[in-house]
Structure 1
Amino acid sequence: MNTLTLNWTLPTPALLGIAVVAIGVLLLMIMKFRIHAFVALIVISLLTALATGIPVARIVPTLTGGFGAVLASVALLVGLGAMLGKMLETSGGAQVLTDALIRRFGEQRAPLALSIASLLFGFPIFFDAGLVVMLPIIISVARRLGGSFLLYAFPAATAFSVMHIFVPPHPGPVAASGLLGANVGLVMLLGLVVAVPTWYVVGYLFGTWVGRRYTIAVPTFLQTDDAKQHEFHTAPALATVLSLLLLPLVLIFLNTGLNMLGTAGVVNPDDLWVQLLRMVGETPVALLITVLLAMYLLGWRTRKAPSLVETVADSALGPVCSIILITGAGGMFGAVLGASGIGKAIADSLSAIGLPVVVAGFIIAAIVRIAQGSATVALTTAAAIVQPVVTGSTSLNAVEVVAIVLSLAAGSVFAGHVNDSGFWLVSRFFGMDVATTLKTWTVGQALVGACGFVLSLVIFFVAGAF
């Protein structure tokens, strides 16, 4: 073997063993030896790439590719979202909306109110973008009412998660629907049937229990010193705050709607006006437009000095740099595990067991998710494997096919942990250490997967009985 072009194919047990050891060493480095998560993730990614036989010439491109792919989707959203959140927080807008929510729902139902708002926002907005936009409101409510931050943040974050996993137009269920030939409209309808009860059981019931069990301080990265707070504070009207929160929702939904109309042949997706409107509705562009509008409504229109508006917006970026870098490093680790072939080896082995397709698909997606981290990769891998069985069957009706899609989606979210960039996003945004994130978020995601699978199974067997 030429050590300069290191490359070998390991059997599935060996690949799985390497993944388990890598995750164990990573946790040991972070929790026991207190090595910064960003550094630890890079070290473990490099060692895992060497151990699994990724060609030496491909190791650094794999690391940087995984890092860059996550940053491409996360850095813009977190940066722009943090700017928007800082301006809402510093202007008093978050407090205005908090007061309105508490007046409408009462203090005891504040976590429920935040969750319902997150479910609505989560329809067109991706998990990470939605969480960033809602975070200043969650922080403001938690600071106002007291108690553990998790009591308010966990139910809302889970609401975004279930909508992202189960309900089109999010990319996972749409991709699986395309591979398996499922009706997207029916997936959307039954996806809500699965998502909402799953959120209630896991996000609200389990989340409020977790919030009372683990005391997490309210994050401070959106806070500003008293002088700047007083100088920028305007207590904007509730309508202004709602317009800033709803604008990205409307723009992103515009993109989604035009995409669906193009697929249905109602509009021509190649027309310039369609492409321009879809570009405006892309999440980074929608957030950029919203940030510019916030600068005007909360700053320039109220005769704030442009330098003050710039200072407040700029002050949002420093505290989130660590979040962005650690999230990117989590994507790097996931990319190495994906390139090593761990997910494919496990999926190929499980596909030969002979379980019912709705069960086998869930198990394949769940194990691939645990092994390599990416929910999207787990979902598309499992869908590709069961595709011949589903599309070649003449006995499956339309609802049963949809139930299989939802079962795969449930498996793809199961037990997200240290190889998932979303795990690090939640950990850093919520100010939790790794151990607490594993006990709360990872367990919660496992319950989301389990509840989603049970409901999908019920739909499958009920549909098969008619």
Structure 2
Amino acid sequence: MMTDLEMNWVLSTPALLGIAASAIGLLLVLIMKFKVHAFLSLIIVSLLTAVATGIPTAALMPTLLGGFGSTLGSVALLVGLGAMLGRMLETSGGAQVLTDALINKFGEKRAPLALAVASLMFGFPIFFDAGLVVMLPIIFAVARRLGGSFLMYAFPSAVAFSVMHIFVPPHPGPVAATGLLGADVGLVLIFGLIVALPTWYVVGHLFGRYVGKKYDLPVPSILRGSTGDFADFESKPKLGTILMLLLLPLGLIFLNTGLNMAATAGLVSLDDGWVQVLRTLGETPVALLITVLLAMILLGWRKGKSASLIDSVVDSALGPVCSVILITGAGGMFGGVLRASGIGNAVADSLDAIGLPVIVAGFVIAAVVRVAQGSATVALTTAAALMQPVVMGNTDYSPIQLAAIVLALAAGSVFAGHVNDSGFWLVSRFFEMDTKTTLKTWTVGQALVAVVGFVIALAIFLIAGLF
């Protein structure tokens, strides 16, 4: 259905871009000026945009529900299971145990750095949203312990997950672009780290310190009950138990991605039964489900907690994140409407005709498509598909230059995530930031990630061309 919908119905490219700009402007006015709830605002603007761009009446609801449902399919399970795990870590005292260990090891001044380094490691195999949700209880506990703006601790970790997700295989965006452009996945992995780590330092560490000092945000209460709630669940588990619960989903997901890469290299076959079983265990929702069940055992039943208390603790995690899930799904609905209207394709086709150098054109196309329709994955694959004939038809590019082009496109695809990006709402709601503050911090930060990442990728491309 969506393939048939992703086309320019009757409108020209300027008209489509005008509608997109007006829709984003209306959304910001509804949320920031008239204080209409973000969930309602996103639905209203999505519906009006679908009508304005000429999506047929028969396809109207399928388009809206398709964007909403596809986003929820990837987010709801991760957020729900991650929130359950986070609530158990929080109420058992496990988050505090790990916080004390981190502070004793790294010191109070380097606590944000310690959290970010852990996030960079977690971010290698685990997706942005899942990794952030799992780390949040630890970030909350450290911020409460040390005081100061919550952004000082959370922003570097969020950027760490973002740069790993967008630049480093085995995440889907760079893997898809690598395949489309015929690059070597091993080189993309190596140079992806070379791009991701300095980018994190500039944006996550340096810019993160700036926004942490400028915006004094309290620690969110979204994963925490009221004072005294579930005091009987506290047991101060051992540090080893907490580390195991945090590393278990990491290991399972890494197993999945590792087997996928091994199959690509011809080392194993995806048709083998044992491979299919292990890959299923390593699917992110399954890995988180296993971890939640194990946490119920280790933090609940083995500590002598009643089944009703454990159930109450787990259930209490879902109410606060309901708003996060629905708003994120509505953000996906808005992005889905923009994609179905043909706005992204119209922008990409127009820019492709300008005739910029390949690596610059790819970055610009990915960035503009990202801003126009919200999805980083769509922006990256669109840009890679448009660049494919040019790149594959030029045999002068070295393997390193091909990897650099992939990374330049990846940088463009993360540019300035804003109100049409479901990830924007995930950060906004979990950090309990209003829309204006999220635009000033997260959107600007994502723009910086794109620019810094592109500069490094361009430098790699130019240096490789000298040899």
- Bucket of the pairwise TM-score, normalised by the shorter protein: over 0.9
- Report if aligned partners of 2:9, 2:341 keep a CA contact under 8 Å in 1: no
SS in 2 for 1:353: coil
Partner residue, 2:111? 110
| Segment of structure 1 superposing worse, 217-226 or 146-155 | 217-226
Displacement of 1:155 after TM fit?
Answer: 0.3
Measure, in 1, the Cα distance between the counterparts of 2:9 and 2:335: 20
Measure, in 2, the Cα distance between the counterparts of 1:158 and 1:269: 33
Measure, in 2, the Cα distance between the counterparts of 1:284 and 1:184: 25
Displacement of 1:228 after TM fit?
Answer: 3.5
Partner residue, 2:92? 91
| Segment of structure 1 superposing worse, 405-414 or 219-228 | 219-228
C-alpha deviations, 1:83-139, integer Å up to 9, x for none? Answer: 000000000000000000001111111110100000000000000000000000000
SS in 2 for 1:108: coil
* Superposition map of 1:393-412 within 5 A: 393-412=394-413
Displacement of 1:263 after TM fit?
Answer: 1.4
Structure 2 unaligned residues grouped into runs of 5+: 1-7
Indicate the RMSD between aligned Cα atoms, in angstroms: 1.0
Displacement of 1:224 after TM fit?
Answer: 2.4
Partner residue, 1:34? 35
Partner residue, 2:295? 294
Measure, in 2, the Cα distance between the counterparts of 1:224 and 1:74: 23
TM-score scaled by structure 1? 0.98
Displacement of 1:287 after TM fit?
Answer: 0.0
Displacement of 1:56 after TM fit?
Answer: 1.3
Measure, in 1, the Cα distance between the counterparts of 2:43 and 2:162: 26
* Superposition map of 1:66-465 within 5 A: 66-465=67-466
SS in 2 for 1:22: helix
Displacement of 1:59 after TM fit?
Answer: 1.0
Letter in 2 for 1:445: Q
Structure 1 unaligned residues grouped into runs of 5+: 1-6
Letter in 2 for 1:80: L
Letter in 1 for 2:207: F
Identity of aligned residues (%): 74
Letter in 1 for 2:153: Y
Letter in 1 for 2:154: A
Letter in 1 for 2:301: W
Q: Do structure 1's residue 58 and structure 2's residue 67 form an aligned pair?
A: no
Partner residue, 2:5? none
TM-score scaled by structure 2? 0.98
Letter in 2 for 1:234: S
SS in 1 for 2:10: coil
Aligned residues, how many? 461
Displacement of 1:260 after TM fit?
Answer: 1.1
Measure, in 1, the Cα distance between the counterparts of 2:205 and 2:244: 27
- Report if aligned partners of 2:32, 2:435 keep a CA contact under 8 Å in 1: yes
C-alpha deviations, 1:401-457, integer Å up to 9, x for none? Answer: 100000000000000000000000000000000000000000000000000000000
Partner residue, 1:4? none
Measure, in 2, the Cα distance between the counterparts of 1:200 and 1:172: 22
| Segment of structure 1 superposing worse, 255-264 or 232-241 | 255-264
Displacement of 1:222 after TM fit?
Answer: 1.6
SS in 2 for 1:278: helix
